Amino acid sequence: MQRGHLTLLTRNGASSYFLGAEGDTGPEYELVREFAEFIGVDVEVRVAEAFSELSGLLREDQGELIAANLTRTPSREKQFRFGPDYDETLIEVVYRRGQQKPRELADLVGQRVAVIAGSSYEELLEIASQSIAGLTWESRQRVGMEDLLLEVAQGDLDATLVDSSIFSVNRTFYPRLDTGFSLEQAQPHAWAFQRDDDDTLVQQADLFLTLARENGQLAAVQNQFKRRAHQLDQVGMYQFLKQVRERLPVYIPVFQDVANAYDLDWRLLAAVGYQESHWDPDAASPTGVRGLMMLTQRTATQLGLRDRTDPEQSIDGGARYILRMHKRIPDRIPEPDRTWMALAAYNMGWGHLEDTRVLTQRQGGDPDVWKDVSERLPLLMQEKYYSKARYGYARGLEAQRYVRNIRNYFDILVWMDTRAHPMLVAASHRILPADTPTAP
């Protein structure tokens, strides 16, 4: 309280803490942030390089609590003082679809299995190995759950163990993976605090989580990320990740150079490029739009492009066209709504966006808020609305989906890039020449 903040000890990952498009986020982070607000302080984050380092950081006073999908186990209760359980999950054995499905721990004998060192999974396998002859595994230091899931997805491992809650958040990134079986006993998750004479912080955590469970705050935080995963499934996650590995790496330097030239985010440009063409420089439509950013001949001519199928010219032209739309958005509209409206205009035309904003205002919504405008985009497909609009009919539902998809792709690329996600890094190393710069 005197310092004005508490320090969260955690690990980088989709189920705990990561940098999103708008800053720090993640299920564990968001819950701890609300707890910090509850006791009147800010929150700072310290990320451990390895899961096994968290306990040492806590003992060395490098933070006040561990929040990293930590399972309460008898051995850990001897080390830490735990707060109340805030989640309960099953341990799942995950394998790659198309391989022989494991149905019990004995099926892992002779298989390539790896788990995170110092995890509850390691404890469980050590106990099981006493009764299952030949059960072996590798304990990995300095890896995240995502690294192991990726190895299973690529066939480098046969299986790994993961909490069901963690897998539910991550599985959308690994569509080739499936659950072989779940272990019967549920595993409670809780925050860990130092085991000393002062339990006042634990008491406050107990009070906060009790209230959060009663008022729905806890469920809202947890469901926020589960809903996001469901949305990503709807926009073709498998195909997107396939092209992240196979097509994107060679264009990363181009997206970066163009973005730097125009003060844009390269990951946003890349997201637009995927939505337009799946990063295919030879893409073409029956209506005549072509290239990686799918520009019309008229737009390409206006932008001074000689060849729409040249990736560098296409990305440069797409960036300038987005900026053209962005500059027309009223200055009073803040980010990120300003960008989402610019993208809608990029897709459907400036006039149709303005028609939608006018309609939004007439219906009592805020024409300067993307959420309100987005909800009314499909109305321009109904005659009773478009017949009164200045620019007439528009495929508003398509524009709504267009922006939603780009936001989804952008979020994934930001998440991968800011934590050097193994899928993006591995793809870059495999495809790019050694002297080609990769994403920062």
Task: Decide which of 128, 155, 188 is a domain's last residue.
Answer: 188
Return the HEC string of 64-103. CEECCCCECCHHHHCCEEECCCCEEECEEEEEECCCCCCC
- In whole angstroms, what is the distance from residue 17 CA to residue 2 CA? 25
Q: Is 276 a catalytic residue?
A: yes
Structural domain includes residue 182: yes
Structural domain includes residue 439: no
Q: 343 and 402 share a domain?
A: yes
CB atoms within 10 A of CB 138: 12
Of the candidates 28, 64, 122, 276, the residue annotated as catalytic is 276
Q: 40 and 183 share a domain?
A: no
Return the closest-CA partner of residue 363 out of 352, 351, 377, 350.
377
Q: 76 and 100 share a domain?
A: no
Q: 325 and 425 share a domain?
A: yes
CB atoms within 10 A of CB 245: 16
Domain CATH code at residue 162: 3.40.190.10
Structural domain includes residue 386: yes
Structural domain includes residue 440: no
Structural domain includes residue 322: yes
| Domains in the chain, number | 3
Q: 249 and 345 share a domain?
A: yes
Q: 276 and 417 share a domain?
A: yes
Q: Is 409 within 8 Å of 244 (Cβ atoms)?
A: no
Structural domain includes residue 393: yes
Q: Is 218 within 8 Å of 191 (Cβ atoms)?
A: no
Q: 198 and 291 share a domain?
A: no
Q: 382 and 322 share a domain?
A: yes
Q: 334 and 407 share a domain?
A: yes
pLDDT in tens, 100-140: 999 999 999 999 999 999 888 998 999 999 999 999 999 99
User: Which pTM value belongs to this model?
Assistant: 0.61
Provide the domain limits for residue 342.
Answer: 238-431
Structural domain includes residue 437: no
Q: DSSP for 149-206?
A: HHHHHHTS-SEEEEEHHHHHHHGGG-TTEEEEEE-SS-EEE--EEE-SS--HHHHHHH
- The alpha carbon dihedral of 287, 293, 299, 302 has a sign of negative
Q: What is the pLDDT along the chain (440 residues), one digit of tens a residue?
A: 999 999 999 987 777 887 654 567 788 999 999 999 999 999 999 988 888 899 999 999 999 999 998 989 888 999 999 999 998 889 999 999 999 999 999 999 999 999 999 888 998 999 999 999 999 999 998 877 877 988 898 899 999 999 988 888 777 667 789 999 998 778 899 999 999 888 999 999 999 999 999 999 999 888 877 655 545 554 477 788 889 888 998 999 999 999 999 999 999 999 999 999 999 999 998 767 899 999 988 889 999 999 999 999 999 999 999 999 999 999 999 999 999 999 999 988 899 999 999 999 999 999 999 999 999 998 887 777 888 888 887 788 889 989 999 998 998 898 777 655 555 554 444 333 333 333 22
| Residues recorded for the chain | 440
Q: 150 and 228 share a domain?
A: no
Q: 225 and 247 share a domain?
A: no
Q: 209 and 60 share a domain?
A: yes
Structural domain includes residue 21: yes
- In whole angstroms, what is the distance from residue 319 CA to residue 272 CA? 9
Domain CATH code at residue 373: 1.10.530.10
Task: Decide which of 234, 268, 292 is a domain's last residue.
Answer: 234
DSSP state of 334: P
| Upstream peptide bond of 334 is cis (omega within 30 degrees of 0) | no
